[in-house]
Amino acid sequence: MNPKTRIIFLISLTIIVLFVLGDTFFIVSEMNQVIITQFGEPVSGTISKPGIHTKLPFVQDVHSFEKRWLEWEGDSNQIPTKDKKYIWVETYARWRIHDPLIFFQRVRDERGGQSRLDDIIDGETRNAIANFDLIEIVRSSNRKFEASAEVGALGPDVNQAVSNISTGRVKIAALILKQASKITPEFGVELKDVRIRRVNYVDEVQQKVFERMIAERKRIAAQYRSEGDGQSAEIRGQKERELKKIQSEAYKKAQELRGKADGEASRIYAAAYGKDPEFYQFMKTMETYRKTFDDKTWFIFSTEGEFLRYLKSTEKR
The pLDDT > 70 percentage for the chain reads: 87
Q: 180 φ, ψ to 5°?
A: -70, -35
What burial letters (b/e) apply to 188-214, b meaning 16+ CB within 10 Å? Answer: bbebeebebeebebeeeeeeeeeeeee
Q: Is the pLDDT of residue 233 over 50?
A: yes
Does 71 or 6 have the greater pLDDT score?
71
pTM of the model: 0.62
**151: confidence class by pLDDT, cuts 50, 70, 90:** very low
DSSP assigned state of 146: -
DSSP assigned state of 126: H
Beta carbons of 145 and 169 less than 8 angstroms apart: no
CATH fold group of domain 70-201: Tetrahydropterin Synthase; Chain A (3.30.479)
What mean pLDDT is predicted for residues 251-266? 89
Tell me, what's the pLDDT at 150? 45
Beta carbons of 133 and 166 less than 8 angstroms apart: no
Q: What is the pLDDT of residues 72-119, one digit of tens each?
A: 999 999 999 998 888 999 999 999 999 999 999 999 999 999 999 999
Q: What is the pLDDT of residues 200-225, one digit of tens each?
A: 888 877 788 788 889 989 999 999 99
Tell me, what's the pLDDT at 7? 79
Tell me, what's the pLDDT at 313? 57
Counted residue by residue, the chain has a size of: 317
SS3 annotation, 20-55: HHHHHEEEECCCEEEEEEECCEECCCCECCCEEEEC
